[in-house]
Amino acid sequence: MSSVKIDPVIPPDSAFPRYRPVADHALLVELGEAIDPALYERIWQLDAALAAHPIEGVTETVPAYASLLIDFDPVVTDHQRIKQAVERLLRESGDKRAAGTLREMLVCYESPFAPDLDAVASATGLDPEAVIATHLAGSYRVVMYGFVPGFAYLAGTPEVLRLPRKPTPQRGIPAGSVLIAGPQCLVTTLTMPTGWWIIGRSPTAILAEDSDQPFLFDVGDSVRFKRINRRDFDIAARRG
């Protein structure tokens, strides 16, 4: 192993923000290329600024770790006009922290909802109770959604619980499964396969179909997990 690390991918124009046109209907604004809280805070600021000061022709924005996609109607506007408007917003929006709302999610860490709890315990050298306590102590933020509807990437899994993927993914994981995934924590919203570690199940619906606010949280919100026992899980699950 060489002691000198050379990163071959730094392009010659490494100045951010970068504006990348996407076909005839979107502009991708990149503020960096790392997974870094300082970066995604700035993405949320820009996203909030766009919501507060709508740009003509913008149809939606999609925040991710280090980038924001701005989709627009090409009949009304174009890449250049969106870019100029974003540059103005970035100049003016300053350093306001995106506040976000605190959301609570209930989690039951009991069998059969936590098939990987023991494996996580042995991989981390903690006992299962300590894994639960560490997970509960984490401070989580919703960084982005993806993969399937309502599947949120929560940053903030404590260092000690950050494990690589399991060697083989498992199919048919039920909705509500609480997964730890490297530095992220995820709660499934549909039955899906996963290679991540299942440590509990939440009865809190992220995706409420008949509601003015169909998704429990927006990007930038904070999430706190609250432990419940099996009996309370069943009651909460029945309530829906």
Partner 1 sequence: MASASFVVTAVGPHCSLQDHGRKGLMRFGVPQSGPMDRTAFAAANLALGNPADAPGLEISRTGISLDCTAGSITVAVAGGGFQVEIDGITHGSWSVTTISAGAKLVIKPGFWGNWCYLAFAGQLQATSWLGSVSTHGPSGLGGGRLVLEQQLTIDHAEIRAQRVGDIPCPVFARPRHNLRVVLGPQEHFFSAATIATLLSQLFALSDAYDRMGVRLTGPSLRPDAKLDMPSQAIVRGSVQVSGDGASTVLLADHQTTGGYPKIATIISGDLDGFVQLRSRQQVTFDEISPEAAIDIARTRHQAQQQYFAALHKAVGRARDPA
44 binds partner 1 (CB under 8 A): no
**Strand pairing class (184-187; 152-155):** antiparallel
Q: By CB under 8 A, which span of 112-120, 145-153, 160-168, 194-202 interacts with partner 1?
A: 145-153
31 binds partner 1 (CB under 8 A): no
182 binds partner 1 (CB under 8 A): no
65 binds partner 1 (CB under 8 A): yes
Q: CB of residue 199 vs partner 1: minimum separation in angstroms?
A: 22
Alpha helices in 140-229 (DSSP H): none
Q: By CB under 8 A, which span of 56-64, 92-100, 111-119, 227-235 interacts with partner 1?
A: 56-64
Residue 108 or residue 155: which is nearer to partner 1 going by CB? 155
Residue 21 or residue 128: which is nearer to partner 1 going by CB? 21
Residues 210-239 touching partner 1, rule: CB under 8 A, are: 214-215, 218-219
Cα four-point dihedral sign 146, 186, 220, 33: negative
62 binds partner 1 (CB under 8 A): yes
CB 45 within 8 A of CB 51: no
Q: Which residues contact 167 (CB under 8 A, 6 or more apart)?
A: none
Token pair of 134 as six digits: 């560490």
11 binds partner 1 (CB under 8 A): yes
152 binds partner 1 (CB under 8 A): yes
CB 184 within 8 A of CB 145: no
Exactly one of 16, 64, 115, 183 binds partner 1 (CB under 8 A); that residue is 64
CB 157 within 8 A of CB 184: yes
Residue 95 or residue 209: which is nearer to partner 1 going by CB? 209
Residue 60 or residue 234: which is nearer to partner 1 going by CB? 60
CA distances from 92 to 32, 46, 50, 85, 86 (A): 19, 10, 12, 11, 10
140 binds partner 1 (CB under 8 A): no
* DSSP per position, 35-69: --HHHHHHHHHHHHHHHHSPPTTEEEEEE-SSEEE
- The footprint of partner 1 (CB under 8 A) covers 8-9, 11, 20-26, 28, 33-35, 59-69, 71, 74-75, 78-80, 144-153, 190, 209, 214-215, 218-219
